[in-house]
Chains A and B, each alone.
Chain A
Amino acid sequence: MAAAARFFIRGANSKLATTNSFGASLLKLSPSCSSRTKTQQRHAAHFTFQPDPVPTQYGPTQKMNLFQSITSALDNTLANDPTAVIFGEDVAFGGVFRCTVGLRDKYGKDRVFNTPLCEQGIVGFGIGVAVAGATAIAEIQFADYIFPAFDQIVNEAAKYRYRSGNMFDCGNLTIRAPWGCVGHGSLYHSQSPEAFFAHCPGIKIVIPRGPVQAKGLLLSCIADKNPCIFFEPKILYRAAVEQVPVEAYAIPLSQAEILQEGSDVTLVAWGTQIHVVREVAAMAQEKLGVSCEVIDLQTILPWDVETICKSVVKTGRLLISHEAPVTGGFAAEISSTVQEECFLNLEAPIARVCGYDTPFPHIFEPFYIPDKWKCFDAIKRMINY
């Protein structure tokens, strides 16, 4: 499976002599980049990144994009935990998205190393490292290529503690993977597979919306005593820049964050899609006079039922939006839970604005994604219900 990605890397390199990494080349071509020729011209960015307020409680901060904040989290971990190791395909030279740049030189090649090209091996190996008591941070090059490791994640990692009666566990394992659409990633460089894993008791699934959350949530995943999958929205690797604390800090798992208070509709999303619904909230206010409460779910499993339900009790309306296909997507889980918990408060059917039930297409991406117009229209219909 990853062979396809490797082929892609070579192709990208030969065309773009300026870069030696696939991630960089993907993002160079991405809409936020200014050097657009006619042949490369693409649909305008489907979101606008909004930096968080500068966090003051964790000491000095530094301007970082998302990939740099990941590196910073990994750096803090390797410095504080001598058992911690980082491994995966091409992580030694810095990774195809530059997330591990400099770490091998700083901490040694026995702590930051390449593995053979084999995802089931990477996750199996990581479980073993964790079972032996050390901290394992595995990288899967694209979330699209995590499926060869599905057995190791679902049958092994998730069930290790339970099946052994808590004699053995792989709680020290964290799997990181680039995630989500990127403008032109097509079928195998765009997927959002969180719902496949949400059906699996025993693991945690976490997705940040920007550099500050990425570092805090990743450090929480690494410290958590359960196997975690951490999905990094790759379209934000370079596009999202904000002030990030230099020292280690933690953002708690299984806690949604209310980014904007509102009274008419609750909007729930995660990852890049948060920036879409934030803009939608502004549009709804401006064009419809509708006050939206925007919530970043952050942890997909185990998710924060309480925060979402509290909000819906207040607003009476809920819109959930994700890039992944609608059928069996995680919005279905949120929707049915909220319907159970908030039946008497709901004033309109819960809306799901998601990807269509197709594979993620190449040239049709602008039509596929649940952009702000699709979300806006759903709010309009919901308000008029």
Chain B
Amino acid sequence: MAAVKSVRKMYGLCFHAVRQTAGLKWSRLLQQRTFRVSAVHQQQPFDSTLEKPQFPGASAEFVDQLEFIQPNVISGIPVYRVMDRQGNIINPSQDPQLPKEAVLNFYQKMTLLNTMDRILYESQRQGRISFYMTNYGEEGTHIGSAAALDPNDLVFGQYREAGVLMYRGFPLDYFMAQCYANADDLGKGRQMPVHYGSRDLNFVTISSPLATQIPQAAGAAYAIKRENLDRVVICYFGEGAASEGDAHAGFNFSATLECPLIFFCRNNGYAISTPTNEQYRGDGIAARGPGYGMLSIRVDGNDVFAVYNATKEARRRAVAENQPFLIEAMTYRIGHHSTSDDSSAYRSVDEVNYWDKQDHPISRLRHYMTARGWWSEDDERSWRKQSRKTVMEAFERAEKRLKPKPELLFTDVYEEMTPHISKQRESMWRHLQQYKEHYPLDLYDK
């Protein structure tokens, strides 16, 4: 108890210091959100009179039998599910009972993403954009989790989470503008396709290096905790990225620094060609969470309600308790890794077909809606037609648009234009004046 008291005292001091400085610049910073004050998380007090281990590194009893701890990979962490493959709610107490409009919105966002994927995938095959990555089979993880968040919650993603932006209302024109790197692209045409970002929608711009966003999400969550607002950070990554050192860093930092953060792992069975048995030997990613002192759960990623429920509860508790949560959504990457990959080189068509035809997040939600009379064959036909039309229209607009002006090659390296970069910019323009016929200047904005 003494430890708890002294900890309280320390927190008291810290409140005091914050109050003293608050209101100088950052009026939103009022007082700290509740820090967890739990003896479990403090180093145990030293007491040499007790007949128990006194090691500062762990709180445990002695044993007098030699026994190694066996990992449990045969019977792993169970997969939380709300509805079965036919869209029937399995346990009514777990039914989120979302209103019809919300469910229709889920379905339309998932299918719109799917339509966009098909069109952009084809456009890459025709050489109209340079690169693309589809979201086939993982639409449920995006929409279910995005719906459980507040629009102000900050999202850090990997690259296969376009559905989160779709759910938040990112216009089709912006998706297309980014893939075409045209003058409307918010990213000014600098990154490869599917590296989306939106300040307005609190979706941090995607970058290619895997897992780098994981410790960054921890830092952002820490800053948000100090802001003392009702916000969390969510950080998406694949099971392959979870092997990076940065994943270890992010998990450990967020636990020790008590960050309101949801780690959302999309375990889709493959990292390009590498199957999970070459990626790890433990019980997936969820089993690592407790090792970091993190509350963890595994959900059926093809069950949008299971994803929704888990994210909703993780969000509620992450805000209230300032601690990280780990959600591992089990799913299957139905499409190729990217347009630069042919997945038939390393997995069977039968395997892919099973997930596409018999256990798909979109068809499962459709079963659910049909059973309630919320969706008919006619609705499906007309929605397909309409969504295809909107996507095609945006696609054509994007294709016609000019590229951004070449000037933008030089800005935003630093906040200000530095003399040496400015000099290089002038040098490029001088060069272009003399050799303009060798450059595609007519495709770019003036």
Contacts and interface: CB of A to CB of B under 8 A. Distances in A.
Interface stretch (B42-50, B187-195, B271-279): B187-195
B218 A128 contact: yes
A163 B190 contact: yes
A291 to B, nearest CB: 29
B223 A168 contact: no
Nearest to B185: A165
Interface in B202-254: 204-205, 207, 209, 212, 214-224, 226-227, 245-246, 248-250, 252-253
Contacts of A106: 17
A197 to B, nearest CB: 14
Interface stretch (B25-33, B304-312, B337-345, B433-441): B25-33
Contact of B186 (A125, A134, A167, A204): A167
Interface string A215-241: 000000000011000000000000000
A166 B412 contact: yes
B420 to A, nearest CB: 6
B140 to A, nearest CB: 27
B257 interface: yes
B256 interface: yes
Contacts of A152: 212, 215, 246
Interface string B1-27: 000000000100111111001111110
A338 to B, nearest CB: 14
Contacts of B26: 82-83
Interface residues of B, number: 65
B413 A168 contact: no
A162 to B, nearest CB: 5
B25 A305 contact: no
Contact of A81 (B25, B216, B411): B25
B318 to A, nearest CB: 15
A324 B142 CA distance: 49
Nearest to A116: B252
A110 interface: yes
A244 to B, nearest CB: 23
Contacts of A95: none
A159 interface: yes
A195 B414 CA distance: 19
A288 interface: no
Contacts of A105: 13
A74 to B, nearest CB: 14
Contacts of B218: 121, 124-125, 128
Given A83-B226, A124-B246, A111 B17 contact: yes
B418 interface: yes
A164 B157 CA distance: 14
Nearest to B17: A108
Given A120-B246, A124-B249, A83 B25 contact: yes
Given A163-B191, A166-B412, A128 B219 contact: yes
Contacts of B186: 164-165, 167
A128 to B, nearest CB: 2
B197 interface: yes
Interface in A114-155: 115-116, 118, 120-121, 123-134, 136, 148, 151-152, 155
A45 interface: no
B415 interface: yes
B372 interface: no
A120 B215 contact: yes
B419 interface: yes
Contacts of B365: none
A111 B14 CA distance: 9
A124 B214 contact: yes
B199 interface: yes
Interface string B328-369: 000000000000000000000000000000000000000000
Given A116-B252, A118-B249, A126 B219 contact: yes
Given A82-B21, A163-B187, A128 B205 contact: no
A148 B248 CA distance: 13
B17 A120 contact: no
A116 B219 contact: no
B154 interface: yes
Contacts of B246: 120-121, 124, 151-152
B415 A161 contact: yes
Given A107-B17, A121-B252, A124-B218, A162 B190 contact: yes
A164 B185 CA distance: 10
A109 B16 CA distance: 11
Contacts of B227: 132, 134
A202 B421 CA distance: 11
A85 interface: yes
A163 B419 CA distance: 21
B219 A169 contact: no
A113 interface: yes
Interface string A163-207: 111111101000000000000000000000000000001101000
Nearest to B205: A164
Contact of B414 (A80, A109, A125, A226): A226
Interface string B151-184: 0001010000000000000000000000000000
Contact of B212 (A110, A124, A132, A202): A124
Contacts of B248: 118, 121
B14 A109 contact: yes
A156 interface: yes
B108 interface: no
A160 B204 CA distance: 10
A30 to B, nearest CB: 32
A94 interface: no
B198 interface: yes
Contact of B187 (A79, A110, A111, A167): A167
A254 interface: yes
Contact of B14 (A110, A120, A151, A305): A110
Contacts of B252: 116, 118, 121
Contacts of A165: 185-188, 190, 197, 205, 412
Contacts of A156: 207, 209, 212, 216
Contacts of A226: 414-415
Contacts of A361: none
B290 to A, nearest CB: 17
Nearest to A203: B414
A180 to B, nearest CB: 25
Nearest to B258: A110
A108 B22 CA distance: 13
A305 B418 CA distance: 12
Contacts of A136: 219, 223
A90 to B, nearest CB: 14
Contacts of A128: 156, 215-223
Nearest to A156: B212
B29 to A, nearest CB: 5
Contacts of A305: 419-420
B111 to A, nearest CB: 28
24 contacts: A83-B226, A108-B13, A108-B14, A108-B18, A118-B245, A118-B248, A121-B253, A124-B215, A124-B216, A125-B216, A128-B215, A132-B154, A132-B220, A160-B205, A161-B412, A162-B413, A163-B195, A163-B205, A164-B205, A165-B187, A165-B197, A171-B415, A302-B421, A305-B420
The 4 A-B pairs at the shortest CB distance, nearest first, are namely A128-B219, A124-B215, A121-B249, A108-B14
